[in-house]
Structure 1
Amino acid sequence: FQVLLKGASMADLYDLTGLVLPNTPRFETNGRLTGSLEPERAVWEYTNFNGKVGQSDLHGSLKYTSGKPRPRLVGTMTSNQLRLADLGPTIGAGKADAASPDPSPSPKRGRAPRGKVLPDSKFAAERWNAMDMDITFKGRHIIRPESLPLEDLSLRAVMENAQLKLAPLTFGVAEGKIESQVSIDGRTAPLKAQIRGTVQGLQLSAMFPKVQLMKKSFGHMDGAIALESTGSSMAGLLGEGTGEMRLYVRDGTLSKQMLDLAALNVGSIIVGKLFGDDKEVHLRCAVADFTVVKGLATTRVVKMSTEDAIVEATGTIDLGTEELDLRIKPESLEWKFFSLRSPLYVKGTFGNPNVGVEAGPLLLRAGAAVVAAVVAPAALALVPLTVPAADDDTHCKPLLDLGKQPVKAGAKGAAGTESQPARQAASKAAPAAR
């Protein structure tokens, strides 16, 4: 028979059915429900259902089997038009659909605390031992702001004996992909987690689709991250993570005009101060290599090589307090290309960063774009690149060689604030004194 399900959040079905489902915006589904009873178990199938979660369509089939040691839910779901905002409550960010007539939050539904960026809603891990599951989901097309180049999403979520694995969790981004594997052990308090991810072949031209100047760029971005952590929320896991992360960019174009068009206001200020307001800068390569200890990311090597200069950043990013403490120093190959020789400082928080010049507080307003432009924590880190043209570059080759070092989670990845390969890369990439 046909069954209509609807409510403020799928997580609310737990009290009624025992199903362990994530927080969502208001949902409504309609499908065929069939069941069979056996001596030691019952089987229920909810097949060919169609509906909406928030403003995203949802289709699929699910099968629930009772029994020991735990009931089990398996199935597949797809969304042809997945609205990015509807994913927010799943990770503890955002809120239920504004169109919902019942805005009352479900237990544990939440978002980042006031003034914070990372979501701090706690995982409902006390429910995880109530059910095992194996669910695959595909979001064929992500509806998002034009400036955010997310394309699609696919994941497999497996939970067994209160241990949750998202493997793979893959976003199509800028004609490339960000693929991660996340394991969270819900049997311990606080939760234990391992996070590994790669950034593969993000095309710079596709990352800024509204910017005409970037269409000339054939460069790409790659990376990797490996962390071990404990915590009870997304923010908590990042704030306690230990390991390393690495980011590489090759062959791009920068200019104040381009960053203005991309609405990266702080990035445009920095580029304007370093290179001048009218200059178009060819980016040969850039690397951001960090160790992470208990959520504190410390620079090993963060450098950008252009035709005219090496720009280096040193300092820390605290993923727990969301505080920035970075120093950006231009190392000129030819000082005539620079309109600013003093280092820049990036301080403040993720939500309210501040940029200043060493000589005085000339830049009082900032935006999070400086982090993306210089250290890219949102993209998180990178894997080896095969870049024949850059391999011959005096400054890029040692930086790209550094990318061949695998990232490691835990104490092995965080060992030392600066690894031997990182020290060698920094030394070789530094311009000769003039």
Structure 2
Amino acid sequence: MDTSRPTRRQWSGWPARHPWLTTLALAVVALLVLVLLWDWNWFKGPLERQVEAGTGREFDIGGDLDVDLGWTPVVRGEDLSFGNADWSDEPTMAAARHAGIAIELLPLLRGQVRIPRIDLDHPVLRLETRPEGGGNWQFGDSDGDSDVEFRRLVVNRGQLRFLDAANDTDIKVGLHSAPATEGPSSLIAVDGAGRWEGSDFTAQGTAESPLGLADPDTPYRIDLRAQAGRTRAHATGTLLDPLRLADFDLQLELSGQNLEDLYPLLGLALPPTPPYSVEGRLTRDIEGPLTTWHYDGFSGQVGDSDLGGDVAITTGGERPMFRGDLHSDHLDFDDLAGFVGAAPDAGNGDTTNPELAAQAREEAVEATVLPDTPYKLEKLRSMDADVRLRAATIEAPSLPLNDMDAHLKLEGGLLRLDPLDFGVAGGNIRSTIRMDARQDTIATTADINARGLDISSLLPEVELAQNAVGKAAGDARLSGTGNSIAAILGSSDGEVVIGMGHGRISNLLMEMAGIDLAEIIKFKLTEDRMIPVRCAFGDFEVTRGVMNTRSFAFDTTDTILIGEGTIDLGEERLDLVIKPRPKDRSLLSLRSPLLVDGTFKQPDLRPDLGRVGLRAAIALTLGSIAPPAALLGTLELGPGEDAGCGGKYAE
């Protein structure tokens, strides 16, 4: 056997005789060299340029780029940063200390991109709006659609910042993957703080992986609690395409100290109220340029009143539009005080808040009654409204109110209440009120009609009037200018007419009105009786806030009361004289005019002591001559005649 080495001639013919073996050998050598020298960082530049071409933003991989090979390779990058929109003052929109992206290879063969997992370490994301609309999350002409399917995101110590400088909003939110969240439904824990519309803001809760934002057709679930100033919200449910706010289906609990606080937060011009808490379903519709938020089937409390119904807020027009169909089974009338610039009663366990309680204390020591808190013109002009409120029962200890039906319309600063309808004392008071706040001073007109008011119910605190029988009615037409209720009434012109038809009233009450001592003693020792009322009538002309009597009479079969004088709505003063004219004879009568004076807050009803004193002095003088003659000083011969009142108020 020849074991000698091949000669040079023999080696020189090897490649020619075995070309495929030579190629294989070279390939193996090249592969070994490639493996030994391979660096994934060679692809950093092409990858950065590809991202920049697709988004128009700078993309930088500051650290190493590496790939774990397999059927689902994982691409890892260090110190990544993504550029911001060119209009922002901050150059970086997003950054991460480390990112790992897994990509499934088999779907790639079918033209699908499926990313089962993304890991982010210390990511930072900055979202901000621009004054013209939109935000830095919009890239060039992209419509936001994507063929990429994401599955799960894991975040370690992330931070999101949302800026809306035009609305004084700056919120920082910490993000961290909740423990034991495997699969596509992984949750992100949220904990944030900052400012929302100028108010201190906090938020806590959980949300699905932000990767869910990429698919506009997949519901994005949230469970978040937030607080802005004194307003608190708890939202649970789903969002569709939330970056573009396409659709919502949330159960929203809203509570706070005052509904007026929603004006700086949401632009809703609501009146001051006691603390409130409501819960309902929040959804959203978009039609052209108009976006409508629906808060349906809500229920809850405002102060000591229950409140429920449906509301809708439409934006995108000239002004926000607020529509509501509201109802209350039990309405505490105090809770509506903010509509007229007053504060609800802070005593007797009534629900209130610190500022309304302070306002109530100030009002309690003021000499006036009519609310003088000015309406805020900018609020009346800031939105439009169409709201209906119906109350089945009303709690108003000092007023005989039964129920209410109010329809409010507000358009460009013109407010109308048509109707403002109250069930009162078994009857009805229906009003139409128009307030024009389009100028610096509000011009107001009011047309008020009262019918079928039960006399005994109107005077529940007067014991002698509790058995009275009769119905009262009236009309008032007033117009005035001013930016508060007090100013409007204090400048008003118009007329007020009230009347009562046939009825019955306590005879003792009428005798006391005329200080008929003999009759008072008789009814005190025996028994009071009811006497017929023929009619009653009051006709006032109102000029520059002063009500002047044109005629005033209360006519019974026993006595007729004739009144005259003024009621000053501006100064809140009473100056009336009521003169009794008896229709019977009495031996112990000190009949004299009754004076009604004082202020609205402290009215005074008393006899004219000068006239009483004169008649008493005459009686004493005559008594010193001959005791029986003293009766002549108190003898009333009954000059009263029936009053001629009637018409529709006497029916």
Pairwise CA distance, 1:215: 6.9
Asked if residue 348 in structure 1 is aligned to residue 591 in structure 2, the reply is: no
CA distance in 1, matches of 2:416, 2:335: 21
Q: Which amino acid aligns with 1:93?
A: A
Deviates more, 1:154-163 or 1:323-332: 323-332
Match of 2:642 in 1: 395
TM, length-normalised to structure 2:
0.52
Cα distance per residue 1:51-75 (max 9 Å; x no partner): 1010110001111111222221112
Pairwise CA distance, 1:184: 0.2
Tell whether the 8 Å contact from 2:514 to 2:592 is kept in structure 1 after alignment: no
Tell whether the 8 Å contact from 1:108 to 1:122 is kept in structure 2 after alignment: no
Larger-gyration structure (1/2): 2
Match of 1:136 in 2: 388
Asked if residue 250 in structure 1 is aligned to residue 496 in structure 2, the reply is: no
In structure 2, do the counterparts of structure 1 residues 307 and 100 end up closer, same or farther at CA, with 3 Å as the change threshold?
Answer: closer
SS at match of 1:336: coil
Tell whether the 8 Å contact from 2:514 to 2:591 is kept in structure 1 after alignment: no
Residue of structure 2 aligned with 1:276, choices 504, 516, 520: 520
Q: Aligned ranges for residues 18-417 of structure 1 at < 5 Å?
A: 18-95=267-344, 102-105=353-356, 114-145=366-397, 148-208=399-459, 217-255=468-506, 270=513, 276=520, 278=523, 280=529, 281-336=531-586, 339-360=589-610, 395-396=642-643, 398-401=644-647
CA distance in 2, matches of 1:180, 1:139: 16
Pairwise CA distance, 1:134: 0.5
Tell whether the 8 Å contact from 1:89 to 1:111 is kept in structure 2 after alignment: no
SS at match of 1:81: strand
Pairwise CA distance, 1:252: 3.5
TM, length-normalised to structure 1:
0.76
CA distance in 1, matches of 2:284, 2:457: 48
Pairwise CA distance, 1:403: 5.4
CA distance in 1, matches of 2:536, 2:587: 19
CA distance in 2, matches of 1:105, 1:212: 34
Q: Which amino acid aligns with 2:384?
A: D
Deviates more, 1:215-224 or 1:44-53: 215-224
CA distance in 2, matches of 1:177, 1:227: 19
Q: Which amino acid aligns with 1:328?
A: I
In structure 2, do the counterparts of structure 1 residues 273 and 239 end up closer, same or farther at CA, with 3 Å as the change threshold?
Answer: farther
Cα distance per residue 1:242-297 (max 9 Å; x no partner): 0000010123443387x7xxxxxxx9963655863635443221111100001100
CA distance in 2, matches of 1:126, 1:198: 31
Tell whether the 8 Å contact from 1:95 to 1:111 is kept in structure 2 after alignment: no
In structure 2, do the counterparts of structure 1 residues 12 and 209 end up closer, same or farther at CA, with 3 Å as the change threshold?
Answer: same
Match of 1:384 in 2: none
In structure 2, do the counterparts of structure 1 residues 213 and 273 end up closer, same or farther at CA, with 3 Å as the change threshold?
Answer: closer
Match of 2:25 in 1: none
Deviates more, 1:81-90 or 1:312-321: 81-90
Tell whether the 8 Å contact from 2:490 to 2:571 is kept in structure 1 after alignment: yes
CA distance in 2, matches of 1:242, 1:11: 32
Cα distance per residue 1:332-388 (max 9 Å; x no partner): 33342883322122211111122343343989xxxxxxxxxxxxxxxxxxxxxxxxx
Structure with more relative contact order (C-alpha pairs < 8 Å, separation 6 or more) = 1
CA distance in 1, matches of 2:597, 2:466: 32
Pairwise CA distance, 1:237: 1.3
Pairwise CA distance, 1:3: 1.2
Tell whether the 8 Å contact from 2:596 to 2:603 is kept in structure 1 after alignment: yes
Deviates more, 1:226-235 or 1:291-300: 226-235
Match of 2:261 in 1: 12
CA distance in 2, matches of 1:305, 1:401: 14
CA distance in 2, matches of 1:219, 1:276: 23
* % identical equivalent positions: 35
CA distance in 2, matches of 1:113, 1:238: 21
Match of 1:262 in 2: none
Pairwise CA distance, 1:9: 1.7
Deviates more, 1:275-284 or 1:341-350: 275-284
SS at match of 1:89: helix
SS at match of 1:141: strand
Cα distance per residue 1:6-46 (max 9 Å; x no partner): 12221221111111112211111111111134552211011
Cα distance per residue 1:172-214 (max 9 Å; x no partner): 0121101100000001222100000101111224445688876
User: Which ranges in structure 2 are unaligned for 5 or more consecutive residues?
Assistant: 1-249, 614-640
In structure 2, do the counterparts of structure 1 residues 238 and 211 end up closer, same or farther at CA, with 3 Å as the change threshold?
Answer: closer
Q: Which amino acid aligns with 1:135?
A: V
SS at match of 2:284: strand
Q: Which amino acid aligns with 1:162?
A: G
CA distance in 1, matches of 2:575, 2:463: 33
Cα distance per residue 1:200-249 (max 9 Å; x no partner): 11122444568887676441001100011101111221111100000101
Cα distance per residue 1:289-323 (max 9 Å; x no partner): 10000110000001110112221111000011110
Pairwise CA distance, 1:125: 2.4
Q: Which amino acid aligns with 1:401?
A: G
Pairwise CA distance, 1:77: 0.4
Tell whether the 8 Å contact from 2:472 to 2:649 is kept in structure 1 after alignment: no
Deviates more, 1:112-121 or 1:28-37: 112-121
- When the two chains are superposed, the root-mean-square deviation of aligned CA atoms in Å is 3.1
CA distance in 1, matches of 2:375, 2:432: 17
